[in-house]
Amino acid sequence: MYTRWIETYENTKKYFNKNIHMLLITNNNAFLGLLALVNSILHNCNKNDLHNLYFHFLIDINETQELQNLIKYSNLQFNYDIKEFSNKNYIKFIKDNMNIQQDNNIGHILNFSRFFISSIYTNLDKIIYLDCDMICQGDITELRDDYFHLLNDNNQLLAVKNINNNDIKYYL
């Protein structure tokens, strides 16, 4: 009987955790885009799942107050936390080992912070990484329901193939 319970638990535990954790990495140059993306996700999400959405913002040093003010004035209601990418060891490693040009926005240190996601968010096992220049046109909970079961210890990354703006669902 105990073995049957363990098998049942293992087969159904993926349905217990309905939370969706989304990570957005940006600096204050894209805070308005970040809020537009959050708004589009909230607008398109199944209303019964809104409490399951958690936004994690990884931003540049000394920009927390600015983002908090924008969120406050946006009147959007959602679960979020803000972390500043300020770990001196990570930043030193990036500066010492990556070719960063200070005058080039592509070379911004936050672009390299993605390599440290698992070290920064150690308590999260599944994260949807989103660029701030996106708009969500569908229910993001479908990603959880249709694809999260594919993630396990051997498969830690799912990505979308770029198909020149065609609808991705027809190519899966």
135 in Cβ contact with 36 (< 8 Å): yes
3-state secondary structure of 59: strand
pTM for the model stands at: 0.79
Question: What is the pLDDT, as a whole number, of residue 101?
Answer: 63
Of residues 96 and 4, more confidently modeled: 96
> What are the structure tokens assigned to 136, written together?
């969500």
pLDDT higher than 70, residue 142: yes
- Nearest CA to 55 among 26, 29, 28? 26
Query: What is the tens place of the pLDDT at every residue in 73-110?
Result: 999 999 999 999 988 888 888 888 877 665 666 667 88
Question: Helix axis angle, 64-74 relative to 31-44, nearest 10°?
Answer: 40
